[in-house]
Amino acid sequence: MKFQVCLSVFLCVTGVAFSWENNWDGPFEFMCPHGQSIRRITSNHNNRAEDRQWRFECSNTGAVASCVWSGYVNDFDQPLLFQCPNNGVITGISSYHNNNAEDRRFKFHCCSISGRSLTNCRFSLSYSNTFDGYLNFYVPNNQVLKGAFSYHSNGAEDRRWKFEVCQSS
């Protein structure tokens, strides 16, 4: 959705508004268009809801050989470690929130890229967010998203995240 904001008769700013994939405490299921994978993950935490809203962006990765959804890969209040199998890249994420645990469970959609293999895979050394902080992760140029790791804090009622990226050749 495009928008325009005019601060005075002489200054107008035009941009593109975005919406979150979920409402506070609400589920979401996001999938990139065919032939694309997740390129950016953005998330905002709210202490009143003790939840995060999520937004994703995609970029072209090439022809897809096969795709599959994982089952839920974490229990509430437990660590999450996920890596797409079979040279797969993350092309979708689904999640639901539980108010008793004040946490989310996640599952991932993975697709393998035709005629390509993933090399030099590594998790980021630092976390992409602080507890209760904004998350803004970009997959570096010429790389793809293969995996995710997070852990939950009952004190903060939030998760910290690291992501695994690979070169695709």
Q: Which of 37-41, 113-117, 130-134 has the lowest mean pLDDT?
A: 113-117
Question: What local confidence, expressed as pLDDT, does residue 2 receive?
Answer: 44
Over 60: is that where the pLDDT of 3 sits?
A: no
Average pLDDT on 38-58 reads 98
**Does any domain span residue 8?**
no
Contact 58, 38 (CB under 8 A): yes
Domain assignment of residue 32, given as a range: 20-168
Over 70: is that where the pLDDT of 152 sits?
A: yes
Question: What local confidence, expressed as pLDDT, does residue 133 receive?
Answer: 98
Contact 3, 14 (CB under 8 A): yes
Question: What local confidence, expressed as pLDDT, does residue 11 receive?
Answer: 42
Q: Which residues contact 143 (CB under 8 A, 6 or more apart)?
A: 165, 166, 167, 168
**Does any domain span residue 154?**
yes
Question: What local confidence, expressed as pLDDT, does residue 159 receive?
Answer: 98
Over 80: is that where the pLDDT of 18 sits?
A: no
Over 80: is that where the pLDDT of 15 sits?
A: no
Question: What local confidence, expressed as pLDDT, does residue 17 receive?
Answer: 58
Domain count, the chain: 1
Average pLDDT on 119-145 reads 96
Give the helix, strand, coil percentages of the chain, each rounded to 5: 0, 60, 40
For residue 46 the two structure tokens come to 């709210």
**Does any domain span residue 162?**
yes
Q: Which of 17-21, 83-87, 135-139 has the lowest mean pLDDT?
A: 17-21
Average pLDDT on 108-124 reads 94
**Does any domain span residue 4?**
no
Over 70: is that where the pLDDT of 97 sits?
A: yes
Q: Sorting pLDDT into bands at 50, 70 and 90, what band is 63?
A: confident
Mean pLDDT of the chain: 91
**Does any domain span residue 6?**
no
Contact 87, 112 (CB under 8 A): yes
- Among all chains, which residue has been given the structure tokens 């919406």? 19
